[in-house]
A and B are shown apart, each in its own frame.
Chain A
Amino acid sequence: MYFSYKNSEQAVLSDVNLKIDQGSRTVLLGANGAGKSTLFYHFNGVYEPSCGTVLYNGQPLRYRRKALMRLRSEVSVVLQNPDDQIFSATVEEDVAFGPRNMGFPDEEVAERVDAALFRTGMSDLRKRGTLKLSYGQRKRLTLAGALAMKPKVLVLDEPTAGLDPQMACEVMELADLMHRDGTAVIISTHDADLAYGWADAVNVLCAGKLTYSGDPDGFYSDRSAVRASCLVPPLICSINRCRSIISGRSISPYPHTVPEIVAKMSSSAITPGKMTIFPVDESASPDTEYIKKATMDICTGVCGTAARKAVSKGCPAGRIFSGTDGCLAETVGGKNSALLCDRRMLPAVTERLDRLKAMGCAVESEMADVRDISGYTED
């Protein structure tokens, strides 16, 4: 596929040939001006290639009004600058913008708005003016707007740019949640650590050309390719490489997160602790007293919106963000930990535990019995 802007000879994208699988987690890496955003606009038909074809579900995109409306209902793009994408005066009005354009009845729109606001933790701000929101809240609002459209493909352009670590972590958690629901999530970023820890597949754009498409380990193993793409390798990747040179051990398996590299480095030197997982439902409030007693004197972490909501209702939490990694790192280090986890995020935690096992550290985990005491009452 090739693309150049009107009245310009220079191709912004040239010889781009990539495939994105359904339900995958894909990262598009590239320096500034590499053409990431331009490529994204091809995914939902905002731009049409000068030469080449974009296929969706095996069918070439049709650039007719109705076909585009259908496509954009399924492929949602969240832009880098939230101000570009916020059109309405209040939070709920803005979230309803997409579903309303899709022509849903009032009840359906209200339901989608409620769900999207809950997931992004913005239920309390639904009546607030959009211009009164902080940058992080505006970013979450744009994400809520996209979630309300229930897309099959979610494209996030620099979702963590300009966000503080907590907010960045929450955004990535949401992206992960969408992935768990079967949505293909595509993000563009410069953050090598984030890309390495999160993605199943990496595509690298350099000056409008696709220079790599495949798994993250394959790309970051080739240091010259990383440098040629004006990128830096993730810290964990570099540490793993150095450790492999020093110890003479194999570089694989590749750890992607802090707990994984700790697990790989500690190997069998330390007996790992036990991780207790407290599943939390979106629609219920757990017994906070029970959790408090059960988690006394151990490291606690939070994962997911429902769990975060439970914390606001009084559940204990040591690590409000990056809770899974924090708890796993503690557990690998030989201590016990407790994770308050959104039930929908449980597969993600299980996946992490499996990866730790692959690193040679089998962490014992148990699912706690959490009694529901009442339904949530939305503030």
Chain B
Amino acid sequence: MFTVPVSVRHLNRRYAGAGGRFRYPRFYSTRRTENIHGVMLFSGLSGGGVPGSAMLIAAAVCICTVLCIIVYKARSGNRDGRGPYRKRRGLSEQVQMDTLAYGSRMVGWSPLGKLLFILCIIITGLLTDSILVPICTFAIGLTMMIYSTNLKIPSILALAIGESMLIMIIGCGMISIMGSASEPAIWDTDILLFHVYITDASFNLAWLVFMRSAAGVTLMLAFASSTPIPHLSQALGQIKVPKEITEIIVLVYRYSFLLLEEMQIMYRAADCRMGFSGFTKSFRTVAGIAAGVFSSSIDISDRAQNALMCRNYSGTFPVFRSPKKISVGWIAAVIVSAAILFAFGQYSSGWINISEVFFGGIR
């Protein structure tokens, strides 16, 4: 069947290219946390306009990252007996998320419908000044999240929620204490290095930003926990998002976890060889692991490309059981929900003054 005779035919190309070689991106990220940060920044900036708020939020992110590392270390345990790397963390996270998404009660819903609905009500919340709209969207998001996950929230999602809440609290706290000096203060004091100057406007704005962020987080998590990545990719393809982007989403999702697992194996191997027995050695080892992961990523991308070609991959990641397409019912539901929320926002603007609720007595 196969015959490979020696001949003098010179062939220019060394690799058979089905449309040329395609390198996969080599970095890791999880869509869940990206979504959270994305919503946070979006909500913060749109609702804010407070000078320096972005810097404050950036500072908050840094603090939270440090806190996350501490949480990770605490979760991991110590290096004796119970072992820090006992659990295949990266692997289990993907398993958790996949299990959650495929087992969700909302997995059969149209991914595009869900995405459109969530985006529309988030945007509606941003278009109105009433805090009641973000509260409503938060309630909707929470209900959807509970329905989707059946309250079985995996640790990675719980950590993501915790992290985002922390960032929101710190960020909004900073917005509230940095009121404009031209407005009368409802609380003016010095705490350690901070000059606290809370005004009516800054306090209300902080709450508005907080509620918008919280609503965004719950809505996006409801979506993320009920939509497997291949479904999302296919849904994006339906709205003519370029194939390159949708494919990269799927491939990054798959291979980022493999890289993470590779890194953990190196970590364990280095630990077995006393790579972390001292501060300087630890630094050296971590640098070595970083370089190792980088070169591994090249190797993995090569092997992955060959494997994909072996299975006739032609640039579109197929889905066996295709998710439902968006229907007219979905579009109608989206329009009606957005319209109701917007009208309610316009009508209820100024109904609640949060600063009065908290500081009414002081004033």
Given contacts A1-B6, A129-B99, contact A97 B13 (CB under 8 A): no
User: Nearest-CB distance from A265 to chain B (Å)?
Assistant: 37
User: Is B310 touching A76 in the complex (CB atoms < 8 A)?
Assistant: yes
**Besides A17-B6, A89-B98, 14 new A-B residue pairs in contact (Cβ under 8 A), listed by A number:** A42-B4, A43-B2, A45-B16, A55-B3, A65-B314, A72-B309, A84-B307, A87-B254, A88-B320, A92-B320, A100-B320, A101-B312, A145-B311, A149-B312
B306 within 8 A of A: yes
Q: Mark B1-45, 1 if CB is under 8 A from A, else 0.
A: 111111111110111111100000000000000000000000000
Query: Smallest CB-CB separation from B91: which chain A residue?
Result: A131
User: Is A129 touching B98 in the complex (CB atoms < 8 A)?
Assistant: yes
Closest 5 CB pairs of A and B: A100-B318, A96-B320, A101-B312, A55-B3, A45-B16
Query: Smallest CB-CB separation from A77: which chain B residue?
Result: B310
User: Nearest-CB distance from A204 to chain B (Å)?
Assistant: 15
B313 within 8 A of A: yes
Query: Smallest CB-CB separation from B11: which chain A residue?
Result: A48
User: Nearest-CB distance from B37 to chain A (Å)?
Assistant: 24
User: Nearest-CB distance from B285 to chain A (Å)?
Assistant: 25
B303-338 residues at the A interface, CB under 8 angstroms: 303-304, 306-314, 317-321
User: Is A131 touching B16 in the complex (CB atoms < 8 A)?
Assistant: no
**A48 partner, pick from B4, B14, B258, beta carbons under 8 A:** B14
**A58 partner, pick from B3, B9, B258, B311, beta carbons under 8 A:** B3
9 A-B pairs, CB-CB below 8 angstroms? A1-B6, A47-B14, A54-B2, A55-B3, A56-B2, A68-B18, A90-B98, A100-B319, A101-B318
CA distance A152 to B2 in the complex (A): 12
Given contacts A22-B1, A41-B306, contact A47 B228 (CB under 8 A): no
User: Nearest-CB distance from A114 to chain B (Å)?
Assistant: 12
User: Is B311 touching A98 in the complex (CB atoms < 8 A)?
Assistant: yes
User: Is A63 touching B16 in the complex (CB atoms < 8 A)?
Assistant: yes
CA distance A19 to B304 in the complex (A): 28
Query: Smallest CB-CB separation from B317: which chain A residue?
Result: A87
Interface extent on B, as a size class?
A: 35 or more
**A5 partner, pick from B14, B94, B314, beta carbons under 8 A:** B14
User: Is B230 touching A88 in the complex (CB atoms < 8 A)?
Assistant: yes
CA distance A153 to B14 in the complex (A): 23
Query: Smallest CB-CB separation from A89: which chain B residue?
Result: B98
B95 within 8 A of A: yes
B102 within 8 A of A: yes
Given contacts A6-B14, A129-B95, A131-B98, contact A72 B311 (CB under 8 A): yes
User: Nearest-CB distance from B59 to chain A (Å)?
Assistant: 36
User: Is B4 touching A69 in the complex (CB atoms < 8 A)?
Assistant: no
Residues of B within 8 A of A4 (CB): 14
A71-99 residues at the B interface, CB under 8 angstroms: 72-73, 76-77, 79, 81, 83-85, 87-90, 92-93, 95-98
User: Nearest-CB distance from A259 to chain B (Å)?
Assistant: 31
B194-238 residues at the A interface, CB under 8 angstroms: 228-230
Residues of B within 8 A of A93 (CB): 230, 319-321
Residues of B within 8 A of A45 (CB): 16
A46 within 8 A of B: yes
User: Is A97 touching B95 in the complex (CB atoms < 8 A)?
Assistant: no
B136-150 residues at the A interface, CB under 8 angstroms: none
Given contacts A100-B318, A145-B311, contact A131 B94 (CB under 8 A): yes
Residues of B within 8 A of A113 (CB): 320
User: Is A21 touching B1 in the complex (CB atoms < 8 A)?
Assistant: yes
User: Is A96 touching B7 in the complex (CB atoms < 8 A)?
Assistant: no
A-B Cβ contacts below 8 A, count: 170
Query: Smallest CB-CB separation from A7: which chain B residue?
Result: B14
User: Nearest-CB distance from A13 to chain B (Å)?
Assistant: 9
CA distance A29 to B68 in the complex (A): 50
User: Nearest-CB distance from A130 to chain B (Å)?
Assistant: 8
Query: Smallest CB-CB separation from A94: which chain B residue?
Result: B320
A109 within 8 A of B: yes
User: Is B258 touching A83 in the complex (CB atoms < 8 A)?
Assistant: yes
CA distance A98 to B320 in the complex (A): 10
Q: Mark A95-129, 1 if CB is under 8 A from B, else 0.
A: 11110111000000100010000000000000101
A119-153 residues at the B interface, CB under 8 angstroms: 127, 129, 131-132, 145, 149, 152-153
CA distance A48 to B102 in the complex (A): 40
Residues of B within 8 A of A270 (CB): none
CA distance A100 to B311 in the complex (A): 10
Residues of B within 8 A of A85 (CB): 307, 310-311
CA distance A58 to B312 in the complex (A): 22
Query: Smallest CB-CB separation from A13: which chain B residue?
Result: B4
Residues of B within 8 A of A47 (CB): 14-16
CA distance A250 to B313 in the complex (A): 53
CA distance A140 to B54 in the complex (A): 51
Q: Mark B141-175, 1 if CB is under 8 A from A, else 0.
A: 00000000000000000000000000000000000
User: Is B16 touching A57 in the complex (CB atoms < 8 A)?
Assistant: no
Given contacts A17-B4, A53-B7, contact A69 B314 (CB under 8 A): yes
User: Nearest-CB distance from A19 to chain B (Å)?
Assistant: 5
CA distance A145 to B310 in the complex (A): 11
Given contacts A17-B4, A41-B306, contact A101 B16 (CB under 8 A): no
User: Nearest-CB distance from A15 to chain B (Å)?
Assistant: 6
CA distance A22 to B1 in the complex (A): 5
User: Nearest-CB distance from A105 to chain B (Å)?
Assistant: 12
Residues of B within 8 A of A58 (CB): 3
A347 within 8 A of B: no
User: Is B14 touching A51 in the complex (CB atoms < 8 A)?
Assistant: no
Q: Mark B73-102, 1 if CB is under 8 A from A, else 0.
A: 000000000000000000100110011011
Query: Smallest CB-CB separation from A16: which chain B residue?
Result: B4
CA distance A65 to B254 in the complex (A): 25
